[in-house]
Amino acid sequence: MEFHVLYRPSHSLAVCNLNPNETVRAEAGAMVSMTRNINVVAAAKNPADGGGLKRLFKGLKRMALGGESFFTNTYTAMNQPGHVSFAPSLTGDMIVHQVQPGEQLLIQGSSYVAAPDSVTIDTKFQGFKGLFSGETLFFLSATGQGPVLMNAFGAIETIDLDGEMVVDTGHIVAFTAGIKYSVVKASKGWISSYLSGEGLVLRLQGRGRMYVQSRNPSEFGATVGRMLPPREN
């Protein structure tokens, strides 16, 4: 299985080539087109989510914190090779990270697009909800082996970190677990952090790879949102 990303960086489209009987799992709503032999299972069970109530709880948690779709779908190429293409909602780039055995990639909830079943996507990771800044942060964890497709708002910068970096919560895409994170105030005090417009930021420390996006969805929402007419009713 392989991903090709076309039309980078603004209007990226990912094409996923599947060998006979191979499966790719993707965020619901991301599919653009597919060959005739693709079998789609909507709201497919994620093996990492466990069964029954546990799965429902995890789905709800993901939805509440991450803005991530409640369900993922699986796409399987029946008996012959096939392909599926995926696109995100926002204008921006997509990138493929190859997860290595023993490595863990933490993905910001809404940046995850697709991965094969050889990569386990787990929602056990802690999220965060800023009380008055309105920022939410939720990480999915990817382990196993294989490619993970992620999307961004704007362009993506790849950084090999060895040391420390402070990143705005709205600009983080993903980072490997060799990097430890803590959520801290952008400025010294709570009031100045709020007034600075930065609110809470991530302090990333350690060694590993990180991906940063050049636009912040909440900033864009705030810029356009304040110009919109009030909703009726």
Q: What residues make contact with another protein under the rule CB under 8 A?
A: 9-10, 91-93, 154-155, 157, 163-168, 171, 186-188, 192, 195-198, 201, 203, 212, 214-216, 219-220, 222-224, 226-229, 231-232
Q: Least separation, in Å, of the C-beta of 183 and another protein?
A: 15
Taking the least distance from each CB to another protein, the nearer of 142 and 201 is 201
Q: Least separation, in Å, of the C-beta of 30 and another protein?
A: 20
> Helix, strand or coil for residue 192?
helix
Taking the least distance from each CB to another protein, the nearer of 39 and 130 is 130
Beta bridge partners of 9: none
Taking the least distance from each CB to another protein, the nearer of 144 and 154 is 154
Taking the least distance from each CB to another protein, the nearer of 160 and 232 is 232
Q: Least separation, in Å, of the C-beta of 165 and another protein?
A: 6
Taking the least distance from each CB to another protein, the nearer of 146 and 170 is 170
Alpha-carbon span 108 to 188, nearest angstrom: 25
Taking the least distance from each CB to another protein, the nearer of 9 and 127 is 9
Evaluate whether 178 touches 212 at the Cβ level (below 8 Å): no
Alpha-carbon span 148 to 27, nearest angstrom: 12
Distances in Å between the alpha carbon of 169 and those of 65, 90, 164, 198?
13, 17, 15, 9
Closest CA to 55 of 118, 110, 122, 149: 122
Alpha-carbon span 172 to 202, nearest angstrom: 8
Q: Least separation, in Å, of the C-beta of 233 and another protein?
A: 9
Taking the least distance from each CB to another protein, the nearer of 101 and 229 is 229
Distances in Å between the alpha carbon of 39 and those of 2, 79, 113, 154, 218?
18, 10, 18, 32, 36
Q: Least separation, in Å, of the C-beta of 219 and another protein?
A: 4
Q: Least separation, in Å, of the C-beta of 210 and another protein?
A: 9
Q: Least separation, in Å, of the C-beta of 101 and another protein?
A: 29
Alpha-carbon span 101 to 146, nearest angstrom: 9
Residue 20, phi then psi, degrees to nearest 5: -50, 130
